[in-house]
Structure 1
C-alpha cells in the first residue's frame, strides 16, 4: 500500500516545505485539494459532512492545485502529485488539457489527474457554466482531455463541446493517470469505465469495502478486471497498523493521511509541527515493515 499526504486548507507558504519533507520521509504522493472560491451563502449541501455544512470559511487558504503541483514538483524529484479532486464541471476542457499537460511535463510525469464534477451550483453558474447536465458534460470533458494529452491532431464534435482539428505540444511522454472521485453510482461507473483509479472522501472501512467491491464488479462489467486500478482512501476509523493491514486486505492501494490533523494539531498547525508529524507518521507506518 502506498502513502499519500493530503494538504487541504494548508497555509500556502508551507506547501513547498511540506513537499520536500514528504519526499525525505518516504511518502509516495501529495494529494492536492480544489476550491475555486467561498460563496457567502450556499444553495446546496456540502455532500461530505453530516449536516451539509462546509469545513472551512472565507479566510481558509486555498491554492489552485495545478499551480501547486508545479511549484512542489520544482523542489522534489521523486514525489508524485495528484488532484484530490479537481472540479471539472465549472471549467473548460481545452484550457485544462493545456494546464494538465504542462504540469505532467514540468514534473517529469509525476502527476495524476484526480477529477470530480463539483457540488456547488454557484461554482458552475458564476463561472459561466450551467449546473444542469453536469455529469454528461464532465464525461465529454474527460474524453477531450484524454485525447488531447495523448498527442497528435484531435477533433471533437459532441453535445457540449465542438472543435475542429487541433494539437497541443508537447504531449506528456507518458499517459497521465485519471483518478475519479465520488460515491454515487454514476461516479463509480465513471471511475470503472474511464479511470485509472477511484479516490474517496472521508469514509469508514466498512463503507470502503462495500464501494471497492462495487468497483471491482463494475471493472469486470466494462472488461477491465485485469487493468491496473488504484483505490485511494481517506479512512476515518482505522488508524493503527492492524487497521492499515485491514485496509490493504479489502483492496486499498493508497492511504491518504494528514498526519498533523491525525495527531490533533489542526489544519493550521505551524510548519515545524507539520514536519514533525509527517516524520512520526512515516516511522510508524511507512517504514514499519508491516507489508513485508
Structure 2
C-alpha cells in the first residue's frame, strides 16, 4: 500500500517544507486539494458531510493545485503529486490540457490527475459554465484532455467542445494517470470506464470494501479486469497496523491521511510539529515492515 500526505488547509508557507519532509520520510505522494473560491451563500448541500455544511470557511487557505504541483516538483525528485480532486466542470479542457501537460513534463512524470465534477452551482455559473449537463460535459472534457495529452495533431467535434486540428508540444513522455473521484453510481462507472484509479472522500472501511468490489465488477464489464487500477482511500474508522491490514484486505492501494490531525493538532499547527507527526506516522506504517510480514 502506498502512503499519501494530504496538505488540505495547511498554510501555504508550510507546503514546501512538508513536501521535502514527505520525500525524506518515504511517503509516496502528496494529495493536492482544489477549490476556486468560497461563496458566502450556499445553494445546495455539501455532499461529503452529514449535515451538508462545508468543513472550511472563507479564510481557509487554498492554492491552485497545478501551480503547486509544479512548485513542489521543483524541490523534490521522487515524490509524486496528484490532484485530490480537481473539479473539472467549471474549467476549460484545452487550457487544462496545457497546464496538466506542463506539470507532467516539469515533474518528470511525477503527476497524476485526480478529477471530479464539482458540486456547487455557484462555481459553474460564476465561471461562465452552465450547471446543467455537467456530468456529460466532464465526460467530454476527460476525452479532450486525454486526446491532447497523447500528442500529435488532433481534432475533436463533440456536443460541448469542438475544434479543428491542433497540437500541444511537448506531449508528456508517459501517459498522465487519471484518478476519478466520486461515490455515486455514475462516478463509479466513469472511473471504471476511463480512469486509472478511483479516489474516495471520507468513508468507513465497510463502505470502501463495498465500493471497491463494485468497481471491480464494473472494470470487468468494461474488459479492464486485469488493468492496473489504484484505489485511493480516506478512511475514517481504521487505525493502527491492524486497521491498515484491514484496508489492504478491502483492496485499498493508496492510503491518504493527514498525520498531524491524527495526533490531535490543528490544520494550522507549526510546521515542525507537523513534521514530527509525519515521522511518527512513517515509523509506524512505512518503516515498520508490517506489509512484508
Band the TM-score falls in, shorter-chain normalisation: over 0.9
Residue 255 of structure 1 corresponds to which residue in structure 2? 255
Instruction: Output aligned runs, 1:153-192, within 5 Å.
Output: 153-192=153-192
Residue 121 of structure 1 corresponds to which residue in structure 2? 121
Q: Can you list the C-alpha shifts for 1:66-97, whole angstroms capped at 9, x where unaligned?
A: 00000100000000000000000000000000
Instruction: Output aligned runs, 1:31-50, within 5 Å.
Output: 31-50=31-50
Residue 214 of structure 2 corresponds to which residue in structure 1? 214
Runs of 5+ unmatched residues, structure 2: none
Please identify runs of 4+ aligned residues in structure 1 that moved more than 6 A. none
- Cα distance in 1, alignment partners of residues 145 and 154 from structure 2: 10
Match of 1:99, SS state, is helix
Instruction: Output aligned runs, 1:134-283, within 5 Å.
Output: 134-283=134-283
Match of 1:5, SS state, is strand
Give me the CA root mean square deviation.
Answer: 0.4
Q: What is the Cα deviation at residue 266 of structure 1?
A: 1.5
- Cα distance in 2, alignment partners of residues 263 and 8 from structure 1: 16
- Cα distance in 1, alignment partners of residues 143 and 260 from structure 2: 37
Q: What is the Cα deviation at residue 254 of structure 1?
A: 0.2
Q: Can you list the C-alpha shifts for 1:136-180, whole angstroms capped at 9, x where unaligned?
A: 000000000001001001100000000000000000000000000
Q: Can you list the C-alpha shifts for 1:1-54, whole angstroms capped at 9, x where unaligned?
A: 000000111101111111000000010000000000000001011100000001
- Cα distance in 2, alignment partners of residues 41 and 211 from structure 1: 32
Runs of 5+ unmatched residues, structure 1: none
Match of 1:201, SS state, is strand
Residue 98 of structure 1 corresponds to which residue in structure 2? 98
- Cα distance in 1, alignment partners of residues 67 and 18 from structure 2: 15
- Cα distance in 2, alignment partners of residues 225 and 67 from structure 1: 34
Q: What is the Cα deviation at residue 112 of structure 1?
A: 0.1
- Cα distance in 1, alignment partners of residues 221 and 141 from structure 2: 23
- Cα distance in 2, alignment partners of residues 266 and 284 from structure 1: 21
Q: What is the Cα deviation at residue 196 of structure 1?
A: 0.1
- Cα distance in 1, alignment partners of residues 125 and 262 from structure 2: 36
Q: Can you list the C-alpha shifts for 1:236-285, whole angstroms capped at 9, x where unaligned?
A: 00011000001001110000010001111011111111111111100011
- Cα distance in 2, alignment partners of residues 212 and 76 from structure 1: 32
Residue 30 of structure 2 corresponds to which residue in structure 1? 30
Aligned length: 292
Match of 1:115, SS state, is strand
- Cα distance in 2, alignment partners of residues 154 and 281 from structure 1: 46
- Please, what TM-score do these two structures have when normalized by structure 2? 0.99
Q: Can you list the C-alpha shifts for 1:211-258, whole angstroms capped at 9, x where unaligned?
A: 000000000000000000000000000011000001001110000010
Residue 88 of structure 2 corresponds to which residue in structure 1? 88
Q: Can you list the C-alpha shifts for 1:176-225, whole angstroms capped at 9, x where unaligned?
A: 00000000000000000000000000000000000000000000000000
